[in-house]
Every structure is written in C-alpha cells, then in structure tokens.
C-alpha cells in the first residue's frame, strides 16, 4: 500500500510539474526571509467594515488628505463590485468631514488609486472586469467624473513628477511588467518586472523610485525608472499573533511611506500602517 501511494504521488507530481510547465507558471516563488524582515511599522488607523463594504484596496495621498478604497466584493454582491472612497485626515487619522463617497459601481474592483496634482483629480485603476479603464474622481466631493479607456490593462497606478513628460507608472495586468505613460495615458515605454509569484497589488513612487506592493507574501519590490531592480523587503504583520493581513495599498505622505492592509476573514476592514523603518535587499 505504502509503495502504491509513493508511486501515485510521484506520478501526480510529475503530471502537476508538466502542467505547470505548459502554462508557464513554473517560476519558483522566492521564499520569504523568515523571521528576518527588514521593515518595522506601526498602525495609525483601523477601519471596520461598513455593512458589506469590507475589503481594503488601494490608497493614496494628495499631500493633505489620505484616500482609502474599500469595496463590497463580488462574493457579497453576487455580481458587480461596488467601491467607496474614504477621505481621511492624517493629522488625526479620522474620517474627514463628508469623507465617504457614495457607493460607486463605476469603479469596479478599484484596485489602486493615485492623485494627479496637474488636473487635481484622483485617478483609479478599475481592474476587474474593466482592466483598461482608468476612472477619475473629484477629491473634494468624492464624486465620479469620468472614465477613460487606455492601451494596457492595468491593476495599479501611480502619479510621478520627475520633471519630464511622464506622469504615470502602472502595473500591467496579466504580467509582472510596468508601463510608463504621459498625461494622456499614451504609452512612453514598458519594462519587465520580476515574476516573483506573489499577488500583484499596488504601485507608488516617491518621484525617485518605484515601489511595487505584493501580498501573499506581503512585500515591496523597488525599481528605478529605467526598470532596474534595486531590492525587496518583506513586511511584518501589523499585529503580532495574527497572520491574516493582505497588503493592498501603498502611498507616501509627509515624506513617510504607508502601507494599508486588508484584514482577511469574514468581517474584514483593515489597517493603515506607517512604515517606521525599511531596508531593501537583493
């Protein structure tokens, strides 16, 4: 019996390896540096579920306020996802006055958000199912303005001001690659990112480097604007004793990096953390 099970397992593994090879997902995930994370962080705000709106997505800052997306996932709605954008005063880490948008089906999964100071709008990558759609929202009223269809399917979006003609960097869906775009979302160039096997979430820039956030495992990969990989850092859990946080949003505010996490589980909600220390290692 033992021998039979061993043979069965070997055959099964061989078939699994063959199938994995066929579909090109055979990249070996990089093992997290267990117990040797090089970041430390502290929770600045915890937000509970708002009825069925319970899942954290991307976040950004306009320099004064912080914007956090939460969605009612399709598992709750049984159909279209709905998003709300929360406007948060980071001086007190409380919701700003009228700091919650209405339920917006126009934003779909609303995976990532950035603020464009040229046009004074929040820009959101819709993600599933309208991957090529970028939506604009007024930061004051949190009302939907318009959507625009662009060349690439995106899952993440960051505004950048390097003094050149490029204004956005984005993660291209279905790949680990990135695109650079001008203000009208015409493609300037694309570059190849590392396929680390993790779940792609968000992108942010401090106008010097690109920071790409992943979950499962929660980590950040750093690149320069030429696409050179500069190192990675795994993130510790925001609270000890729990292992159920999903990194979702990354942004800079007041010169500090922040990461927001979805709390996995039935009631969800999430936390926003200030990164106190971070070190990127290759």
CA 26 to chain centre: 23
CA distances from 200 to 64, 120, 128, 172, 216 (A): 27, 27, 13, 10, 9
| Smallest distance from Ca ion to CB 248, Å | 5
- What number of other Cβ atoms are within 10 A of residue 51's Cβ? 8
68 vs 201 by CB, closer to Ca ion? 201
End-to-end CA distance of the chain: 46
Question: Which chain residues interact with Ca ion by CB under 5 A?
Answer: 57, 111, 201, 248
| Nearer Cβ to Ca ion (38/177) | 177
Cβ nearer to Ca ion, comparing 73 with 147? 73
Q: How far is the CB of 199 from Ca ion (least distance, A)?
A: 8
Residues constituting the chain: 282
Nearest approach, Cβ of residue 111 and Ca ion (Å): 5
Contacts of 240 (CB under 8 A, 6+ apart): none
Query: Considering the complex, what minimum distance in angstroms separates the CB of residue 110 from Ca ion?
Result: 9
Long-range contacts of 28-35 (CB under 8 A, 24+ apart): 28/197, 29/196, 29/197, 29/198, 30/196, 30/197, 30/232, 32/217, 32/219, 32/234, 33/234
Minimum separation from the CB atom of position 86 to Ca ion (A): 15
Complex with Ca ion: residue 69 or 225, whichever CB lies closer: 69
68, 101, 144, 190, 210 from 223: Cα distances, Å: 24, 33, 32, 13, 5
Q: With respect to Ca ion, which residue has the nearer C-beta, 69 or 150?
A: 69
Q: Is the bond preceding 225 in cis, omega lying within 30 degrees of 0? A: no
3-state secondary structure of 65: coil
Q: Closer CB to Ca ion, residue 57 or residue 204?
A: 57
CB of 207 to Ca ion, least distance (A): 24
Tell me how far, at minimum, the Cβ of 204 lies from Ca ion, in Å.
Answer: 14
Distance in Å, CB of 155 to Ca ion, minimum:
8
**What DSSP assignment string belongs to 114-176?**
EEETTTTEEEEE--TT-TTEEEEE-TTT--EEEEEE-SS-EEEEEE--SSSSEEEEEEETTSS
Residue closer to Ca ion, measured from CB, 60 or 225: 60
Nearer to Ca ion, 96 or 247 (CB): 247
**Residues facing 15 on adjacent strands:** none
* SS3 category, 280: coil
């Amino acid at each position: 019996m033992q021998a039979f099970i061993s043979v069965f397992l070997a055959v099964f593994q061989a078939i699994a390896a063959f199938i994995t090879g066929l579909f090109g997902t055979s990249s070996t995930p990089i093992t997290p540096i267990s117990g040797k994370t090089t970041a430390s962080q502290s929770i600045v705000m915890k937000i509970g579920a708002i009825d069925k709106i319970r899942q954290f997505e991307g976040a950004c800052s306009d320099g004064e306020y912080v914007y956090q997306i939460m969605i009612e996932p399709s598992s709750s709605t049984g159909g279209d996802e709905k998003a709300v954008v929360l406007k948060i005063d980071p001086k007190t880490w409380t919701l700003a006055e009228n700091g919650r948008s209405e339920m917006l089906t126009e934003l779909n999964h609303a995976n990532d958000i950035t603020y464009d100071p040229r046009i004074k709008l929040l820009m959101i990558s819709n993600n599933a199912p309208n991957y090529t759609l970028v939506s604009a929202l007024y930061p004051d009223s949190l009302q939907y303005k318009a959507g625009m269809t662009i060349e690439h399917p995106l899952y993440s979006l960051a505004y950048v001001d390097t003094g050149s003609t490029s204004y956005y960097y984005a993660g291209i869906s279905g790949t680990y690659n990135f695109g650079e775009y001008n203000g009208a979302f015409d493609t300037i160039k694309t570059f190849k990112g590392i396929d680390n096997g993790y779940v792609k979430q968000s992108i942010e820039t401090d106008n010097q480097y690109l920071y790409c956030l992943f979950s499962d495992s929660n980590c950040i990969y750093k690149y320069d604007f030429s696409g050179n990989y500069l190192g990675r850092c795994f993130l510790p859990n925001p609270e000890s004793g729990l292992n159920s946080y999903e990194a979702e949003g990354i942004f800079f505010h007041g010169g500090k990096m922040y990461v927001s996490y979805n709390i996995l589980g039935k009631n969800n909600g999430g936390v926003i953390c200030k990164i106190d220390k971070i070190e990127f290692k290759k």
